[in-house]
Every structure is written in structure tokens, then in C-alpha cells.
Amino acid sequence: MPERAGFSSDRSPFVLASGSPRRRWLLEKVGVRFEVLAVPVDECARAGELPGEFARRMAEEKAAAATQQRRDSWILAADTVVALGDLALGKPRDHEDAVAMLTRLSGREHVVYTGVVLLRPGAEPAAHTVVETRVTFRPLDASEIQAYIETGEPFDRAGAYAIQGEGAHLVDRVEGSYTNVIGLPVAEVAGWLRTWRII
């Protein structure tokens, strides 16, 4: 069963198709009442699929999976991809993988893509987008990378960092939506919800 997060029954239910606590936190800031429904999808990129395309497809597949269970609901689904050029950086597998990712990102610009899909009850499309944010890391030395990894924060994070946590000190510059880097472009989503009079 979906986890409830202040759900109101006076309108069609609103479902966040994501188990991410960071997306839940961001959506709560918008003021919408919602349920959480984490849906499993195969998160493997296809051959030749660019990071932005991958983020969009994952959001679409999450939305489609959620609507199979909740056709009576509004569905919001999102997927975030951290990319260095055309290389998508997922969650680090282990300590060595985290070191490798952070070393690659050191002193360089990368792009964070978040694909977002909103479906109306009955699985009717309402809105979709892919938001891009450019993030530049300051140069990091090996001791700084090691110290950050020892916080445990890089694990379970795409790109091996959390900009809203201790990873903030790794970042030199952000161009675009800050909340997009956390996992949800709040300005775009809030605009949709106002347009559809959900908030």
C-alpha cells in the first residue's frame, strides 16, 4: 500500500511515484498533499541513450508503472541522472567507485538531468520535461575526497555526492535549478500544480 503523507480525499489523490526521501521532502515544501508509491523499474540505460533521454524514459516508466496501481490518481514521477559529458554516473558500487567518480568530477563541470512526468487520473498526460542544471566542482585533492567518502554520504547518491548535505563544500558553481540537483525541479513542478489547480 502507498505510504500516506497528509493525503486529502477531497480531490483525486496525488501520488509521488518515487521512494526518494529527498523528493518527498521537496514536494512537501510545495504544499501539496500526496501519497508515496515506490515502483520498481529496470534502471539500465539502452545502447546509445544519452543521459537526458535516459532520465526522461525512466520518469515515464515510473509513471506508467504507478498508474497501473493507481489509475484514479494524479501521478508525479521523476528520475535524476548525473552526467559527465555523455557518461551517466550512477550510485557508487563501493568505496573505490566513489573515489573514481569524485576524482572525475574534481575541477570540472557536469550536468544534472531530471526527467519529470505528471499524469492525470486515467493515465492521461498532463506535463513532462527534462530540466538541466550545470554544476562545477572545485578542484579536490585525494585527502578531501577520502574525508568526504568517510562521511558515508556519497553512497546511494547518483554521482557520489549530495549537494544539500556535506557535499555542498565540493561545489564551486551551480547554473540553473538547485533543487533539480537534489532530485526535483520544484519551480517547474509547482507551476504545473498551480496550472492544474492541484495547489
Active-site residue (options: 42, 79, 97, 156): 79
Domain that includes residue 95, residue range? 3-195
| CATH assignment of the domain containing 96 | 3.90.950.10
Each residue's pLDDT, cut to its tens digit, for the chain (199 residues) gives 444 444 433 468 999 999 999 999 999 999 999 999 999 888 888 989 999 999 999 999 999 999 999 999 999 999 999 999 999 998 999 999 999 999 999 999 999 999 999 999 999 999 999 999 999 999 999 999 999 999 999 998 999 999 999 999 999 999 999 999 999 999 999 999 999 999 8
Whether 172 is catalytic is no
150, HSE (Cβ side, Cα atoms, 13 Å): 6
The CA-atom distances, in angstroms, between 113 and each of 116, 124, 146, 170 are 10, 24, 26, 19
- How many domains are contained in the chain? 1
The CA-atom distances, in angstroms, between 119 and each of 44, 47, 74, 192 are 23, 27, 6, 11
Residues 144 and 102 sit within 8 Å (Cβ to Cβ): no
Report which of 18, 8, 9, 1 is spatially closest to residue 118, judged by C-alpha positions.
18
The pLDDT of residue 72 is 94
For 135-175, how does the pLDDT look when each residue is reduced to its tens digit (9 = 90+)?
Answer: 999 999 999 999 999 999 999 899 999 999 999 999 999 99
Phi, psi (deg, nearest 5) at residue 2: -60, 150
Please tell me whether residue 137 adopts helix, strand or coil conformation. strand
